[in-house]
């Protein structure tokens, strides 16, 4: 797969009637055989798909539905991949909820100590917070950004992570740091393997733009550029599974979690710095449902709360199991959470409640555009 965009280019205007709000009327004819009044697409709306489907002549036929026509394997396109069975299914994960200061050098040393402590406690996979080497602000991003691809002295944060992951023989999902690439800045999560090598780099796909008057206004898009690809990584050497990566606001987009699940992920890692407005209401809710809907593990890691910072993080880093159950969590203070993951549970859960098999590919379909285009 390449990370470039698909070219969903051509489209034309359609001439459908405006939204109809007519009512269905009672009749002796079963509703399933009547024409339901569904709002149509507004005039001038571009829709490439209609043209394609029309060309391909897959308009509805008159055959009645039977269970065999549910086509659950078509509910995601391409069809879901089987869940891989890692050689080792049980391991410990460490979530390092770190305090963050304006001094980048201090943050790097502080993170190193936390990773060492997590590893000492048995963690084979360590997750750091979103933007852990810099305050979370549009002013601080350019000051603390690093050229990750250049590496070495130009990127002291990733140099530390490469060294420590190799020395301790652990996998690190690095939360995120501001990344400079040419004239652009990204909010970027790196994954380092047990050999100290960079295994994947996820640039936040959905930038955090929010405006709730009197409560919170933040526009990441003022300074940052959005990433252009979902990121899934297999950690073969370390046996810590197939991991899908999202950063903070990415967790709100259920499609991303679903396409990771369909790509065979065991675990989703979301470093994230939710705030005091949305944190209490949404942070745990989003983690639990992404896990329960997709029947996989979800791990999150936030910076510790600093009431004096310009952006106050909610904290509450958490590990959630595949039934949406909170396995380990903490409050808003600095902390290191160590908890066990057991991937053998995933297949049990999916057998008990076979959501994937129950999906209705005859009614809806989630398309993973990059995976589709990679073939």
Using the minimum distance from each CB to its own copies, give the nearer residue, 143 or 150.
150
130 is catalytic: yes
CA distances from 157 to 105, 119, 168 (A): 9, 18, 17
Element spanning 344, H or E: helix 344-352
Dihedral (CA of 18, 21, 22, 25) sign: positive
Q: Tell me the CB-side half-sphere exposure of residue 142, using CA atoms within 13 A.
A: 9
Pairing of strands 326-329, 171-173: unpaired
- Rounded to a whole number of angstroms, the minimum distance from the CB of residue 313 to its own copies is 18
- Rounded to a whole number of angstroms, the minimum distance from the CB of residue 363 to its own copies is 6
Q: CA nearest 173: which of 120, 103, 118, 121?
A: 118
CA distances from 22 to 14, 35, 178, 333 (A): 21, 12, 52, 55
CB-CB contact of 289 with 324 (8 Å): yes
- Rounded to a whole number of angstroms, the minimum distance from the CB of residue 172 to its own copies is 13
Say which of 96, 190, 248, 301 is annotated catalytic: 248
Please list, in sequence order, all residues whose beta carbon lies within 8 angstroms of the beta carbon of residue 371, skipping any fewer than 6 positions away. Answer: 1, 78, 259, 263
- Rounded to a whole number of angstroms, the minimum distance from the CB of residue 84 to its own copies is 7
Span between the terminal Cα atoms of the chain, in Å = 8
Using the minimum distance from each CB to its own copies, give the nearer residue, 325 or 340.
325
Say which of 92, 104, 130, 190 is annotated catalytic: 130
Rounded Cα–Cα distance for residues 151 and 198 (Å): 10
Element spanning 173, H or E: strand 171-173
- Rounded to a whole number of angstroms, the minimum distance from the CB of residue 156 to its own copies is 16
Using the minimum distance from each CB to its own copies, give the nearer residue, 128 or 251.
251
Element spanning 335, H or E: strand 335-342
117 is catalytic: no
Please list, in sequence order, all residues whose beta carbon lies within 8 angstroms of the beta carbon of residue 251, skipping any fewer than 6 positions away. Answer: 257, 270, 272, 286, 287, 290, 300
Using the minimum distance from each CB to its own copies, give the nearer residue, 86 or 135.
86
Rounded Cα–Cα distance for residues 206 and 186 (Å): 11
- Rounded to a whole number of angstroms, the minimum distance from the CB of residue 296 to its own copies is 15
248 is catalytic: yes
Using the minimum distance from each CB to its own copies, give the nearer residue, 226 or 310.
226
- Rounded to a whole number of angstroms, the minimum distance from the CB of residue 67 to its own copies is 7
Using the minimum distance from each CB to its own copies, give the nearer residue, 81 or 276.
81
Say which of 204, 220, 269, 301 is annotated catalytic: 204
Using the minimum distance from each CB to its own copies, give the nearer residue, 97 or 158.
158
CA 264 to chain centre: 14
Active site residues: 130, 204, 248
């Amino acid at each position: 797969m390449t990370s470039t965009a698909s070219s969903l280019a051509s489209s034309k205007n359609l001439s459908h009637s405006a939204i109809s709000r007519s009512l269905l009327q009672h009749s002796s004819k079963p509703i399933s055989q009547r024409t339901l009044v569904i709002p149509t697409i507004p005039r001038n709306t571009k829709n490439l798909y209609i043209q394609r489907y029309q060309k391909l002549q897959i308009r509805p036929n008159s055959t009645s539905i039977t269970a065999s026509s549910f086509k659950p394997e078509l509910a995601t396109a391409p069809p879901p991949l089987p869940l891989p069975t890692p050689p080792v299914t049980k391991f410990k994960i460490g979530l390092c909820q770190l305090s963050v200061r304006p001094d980048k050098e201090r943050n790097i040393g502080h993170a190193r100590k936390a990773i060492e402590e997590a590893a000492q406690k048995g963690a084979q996979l360590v997750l750091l917070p979103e933007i852990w080497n810099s305050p979370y602000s549009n002013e601080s991003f350019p000051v603390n950004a690093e050229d990750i691809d250049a590496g070495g002295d130009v990127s002291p944060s990733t140099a530390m992570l490469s060294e420590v992951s190799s020395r301790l023989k652990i996998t690190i999902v690095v939360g995120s740091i501001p990344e400079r690439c040419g004239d652009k800045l990204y909010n970027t999560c790196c994954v380092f393997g047990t050999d100290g090598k960079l295994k994947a780099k996820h640039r936040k796909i959905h930038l955090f733009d929010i405006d709730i008057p009197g409560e919170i206004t933040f526009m990441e898009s003022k300074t940052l550029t959005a990433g252009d690809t979902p990121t899934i990584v297999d950690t073969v050497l370390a046996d810590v599974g197939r991991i899908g990566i999202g950063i903070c606001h990415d967790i709100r987009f259920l499609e991303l979690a679903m396409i990771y699940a369909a790509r065979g992920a065991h675990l989703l890692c979301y470093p994230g710095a939710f705030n005091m407005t949305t944190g209490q209401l949404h942070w745990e809710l989003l983690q639990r449902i992404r896990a329960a809907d997709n029947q996989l593990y979800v791990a999150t890691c936030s910076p510790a709360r600093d009431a004096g910072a310009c952006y106050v993080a909610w904290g509450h880093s958490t590990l959630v199991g595949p039934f949406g159950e909170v396995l380990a969590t903490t409050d808003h203070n600095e902390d290191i959470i160590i908890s066990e993951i057991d991937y053998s549970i995933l297949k049990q859960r999916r057998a008990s409640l076979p959501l994937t098999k129950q999906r209705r590919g005859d009614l809806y379909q989630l398309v993973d555009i990059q995976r589709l285009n990679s073939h």
